[in-house]
Amino acid sequence: MLSHSQNARISDAISSARADREGTQSLDSDIAVPPVRICDTSRGEQPAHAKDVPNRSSLPNGMRERRANPVGRAATAGVQRETIGGLRLAVLDREQTADFMIEAVYPNRRANRPLYLTSANGEVLSRCSTEPMTDRLFRAADLINADGQPLVMVSKLRSPNPLPERVATTDLFHDVACKAEELGLTFYLFGANEAENKAAIANVRRAYPALKIVGHSHGYLRGDALRAKVDEINALAPDFLWVALGVPYEQAFVDEFISRLGNVGVIKTSGGLFNFLSGSRPRAPRWMQIVGLEWAWRLWLEPRRLFWRYLTTNPHALYLLFNRTRSSSTRD
């Protein structure tokens, strides 16, 4: 957890930066490529399921599990973790997570490679338990937040050091954007289709007119076009790269390309974030979010796509939450 002095430094920096806002040239990305869903592999193939994500031998530049990754361990050593449903999750609230992300890049970058943050909900717990490759991709993250209210609720019942609150990426984005706008830090938004991506960018620019968005691109890229886009992102050197491709494709994207993104400060996987930013998908009512029923709202909106997924993962996730949550509070 960030100390009082660290939080104070961020607040002071924001105050001092308010008079020093500058615009940054943005870059629109309209490369004509086949509409194939990411994630790309070195073979240019589309994985249809987590089991089809390429194996370790085809990912020579992939991330190591955090326990074997000294860079990630050093950069996140001060963050307390608890094992919830089988994954080690950060015991941070939204504000603390946003401050952690800001501190990772301001005033100086904390690591010599991007820090990789992702999020877990019940579906992720279930898939990590049954899909070894998905499990490895998540365990390579430097920090995993709880983006599911049931995880928070069970932690309060089963853990002496419970999760303080749900850290939904849809909310976290705005927390970070507010701070980044004041400090002159930069964003790149990668993912969704072209129309969703452009609509999301337009709404973000209206909400945060001083936020420096150095570039954006849809996620329907593959092969050479995708690798060229990754190199373009690296050349733009954003402080924050938001990758919204869905599980496990966005995690596989990080695993595949993090070695080519050395100029990026923080990579945050973002799931369906751009759909909410664009306005095409409404958030669940606040009361449903609080009681852990946002999944029911999503099921009501997209029954054909989500019914079978939730039918198979929700009961399993509940089992994992009560049987693989343990007291293992640690900062390691």
Taking only the tens place, the pLDDT of each residue in 34-91 is 333 333 333 333 333 333 444 433 333 456 676 677 888 888 999 999 999 999 999 9
Residues written for the chain: 332
For residue 3, what pLDDT is reported? 53
pLDDT at 207 over 70: yes
Q: Tell me the per-residue pLDDT of 156-203, one tens digit each, with 9 for 90 and over.
A: 999 999 999 999 999 999 999 999 999 999 999 999 999 999 999 999
Top pLDDT among 263 and 305 is at 263
- CA–CA gap between residue 87 and residue 254 (Å, rounded): 19
**Average model confidence (pLDDT) across the chain:** 84
Q: What angle do CA 241, 137, 273 make, to 5 degrees?
A: 40
Q: Which residues pair with 212 in a beta bridge?
A: 186
Q: Which residues of 257-273 are buried (b: 16+ CB within 10 A; e: fewer)?
A: bbeebeebbbbbbbbbb
In this predicted structure, the answer to whether residue 303 has a pLDDT above a threshold of 60 is: yes
Q: How far is CA 154 from CA 123, 317, 320, 323, in A?
A: 15, 11, 10, 11
Task: Note the pTM of the prediction, 2 decimals.
Answer: 0.81
Omega within 30 of 0 (cis) for the link into 70? no
CB burial class (10 A; 0-12, 13-18, 19+) of residue 160?
Answer: exposed
Which pLDDT band, with edges at 50, 70 and 90, does 7 fall under? low
For residue 320, the model assigns a pLDDT of 97
Domain positions in the chain are 65-330
How high is the pLDDT of residue 55?
A: 42
